[in-house]
Structure 1
């Protein structure tokens, strides 16, 4: 399915400013899903800045594991 959404760069929480998928949610989600990762919008601002998009880092960020 092709994403028809508009680019939303001004609302995107990703701090990787040179990413071509930044602000293109459908492309970003597909990219990270292919790599068994989550996009930046799932993480707190501090965890997002680590660029570790793993499920383990997500669980740590949300306090599910230590």
Structure 2
């Protein structure tokens, strides 16, 4: 996984400034960007929020549960 601040806009498809300010809607924790899966990871919530067409979907009902 890569930190959002290390990503150029073209590589991620998402504006890095947006990734810097987004937080988990449940825990308010910072998120980690997973470029391979196009997801934003919330470790405290154990959820992966999808990014579709360059838009982060920050709805808990749309998130995928993850393991540590």
Q: Which has the larger radius of gyration?
A: 1
Give the TM-score normalised by structure 2. Answer: 0.32
Q: TM-score, normalised by structure 1?
A: 0.32
**Richer in strand (by share):** 2
